[in-house]
Structure 1
Amino acid sequence: MGRPGIQMWTWKLCVFLSWMCVGQAVAGPQYMVAIPAILESGAETKFCASLLEPNETLEMSVTLMSKEANTTLMKKTYCQDFHTCTEFKVPLVQDEVVQNFVVEVRGDTFYSKEVRKVKIKVYRAMTFIQTDKPIYLPGQTVQFRVITLDSQLRPVNQLVSV
């Protein structure tokens, strides 16, 4: 504890700066949008959006942007607190891609735009082969079964050539 005066000023500065940050955050409307970072191609998924303490009528738009197309997932106008979850179908892609997830909140005196990245991944069906015992002796008949499951662990309804 060699320099208590410096420690005291450092402490006061930290408290003052955090008070300024909290003061700015509380002054205007607050919003939050939650979505998984990795989405499955072609699957149904959802995101949730919340808006707290709007001091004016605000329009919130949520868009999934790629090089090929922009998909507006939600565009609503609110003048009071709300919380909503919206389902949408993830675009079909052939290979793993990264797209921009854009949230824009706009009013007469308030504007905010956040851009985050989400990965759209293609999950292939997986095939499992199971035998009736772990070790066979020469000449024994091997009994086995084969099952193909999708990413939700549901059986895939397709024929496989032997």
Structure 2
Amino acid sequence: MPVKLTITLEMGPGKTTILEQAVDKDFYRCLNFQVPTVHHRTVASINVTITGEGVSMSKKTKILIDRPAFIHIIQTDKPIYKPGQKARLYKVVELQDPNSIRIA
């Protein structure tokens, strides 16, 4: 007999449903989901609720969401310089699509 599985992400007053599905015994699945962007470290909660015939179970786990790290990489035109030489610096930029595939 299937039960209802609900997984939600709670951040502050907001609540986002990650999964809501009727599942059978021995259900197993890995989920990918988009974590909201934050500007500072934020504590959120993942809430898993299973509801069946007259029975309900719930488990809440706190998680830490950290802001994205911005890294600046500068490349030089050669690895070693002699005194008095001018260093030419270049910014290294890489663009990726949402699937992390390099596009530029």
Do they fold alike, i.e. is TM over 0.5? Answer: yes
1:99 is matched with which residue? 44
Aligned 8 A contact 2:81 2:87 in 1 = no
Structure number, greater radius of gyration: 1
Asked if 1:136 corresponds to 2:82, the answer is yes
1:4 is matched with which residue? none
Runs of 5+ unmatched residues, structure 2: none
| Letter in structure 1 aligned against 2:80 | P
TM-score w.r.t. length of structure 2: 0.73
Quote the RMSD (CA, aligned, Å).
Answer: 2.5
Q: Which secondary structure does the structure 1 equivalent of 2:80 belong to? A: coil
Runs of 4+ in 1 over 3 A off after TM superposition: none
| Letter in structure 1 aligned against 2:50 | V
Higher helix proportion (structure 1 or 2): 1
1:72-92 CA-partner distances (Å, limit 9, x unpaired):
111111234323333322222
CA distance in 2, matches of 1:123, 1:142: 31
Runs of 5+ unmatched residues, structure 1: 1-55, 158-162
TM-score w.r.t. length of structure 1: 0.50
Q: Which secondary structure does the structure 2 equivalent of 1:104 belong to? A: strand
Higher relative contact order (CA 8 A, sep 6+): 2
Count of residue pairs the alignment pairs up: 98
1:3-152 map, 5 Å:
56-131=1-76, 132-138=78-84, 140-148=85-93
1:54-103 CA-partner distances (Å, limit 9, x unpaired):
xx431110000121310011111123432333332222222221101001
CA distance in 2, matches of 1:68, 1:135: 56
**How far off its partner does 1:118 sit?**
1.6
CA distance in 1, matches of 2:82, 2:66: 39
CA distance in 1, matches of 2:40, 2:83: 44
**How far off its partner does 1:149 sit?**
5.3
After TM superposition, the structure 1 stretch with the greater mean CA deviation from structure 2, 84-93 or 69-78, is 84-93
Change (3 A) 1:149 1:124: farther
CA distance in 2, matches of 1:100, 1:130: 41
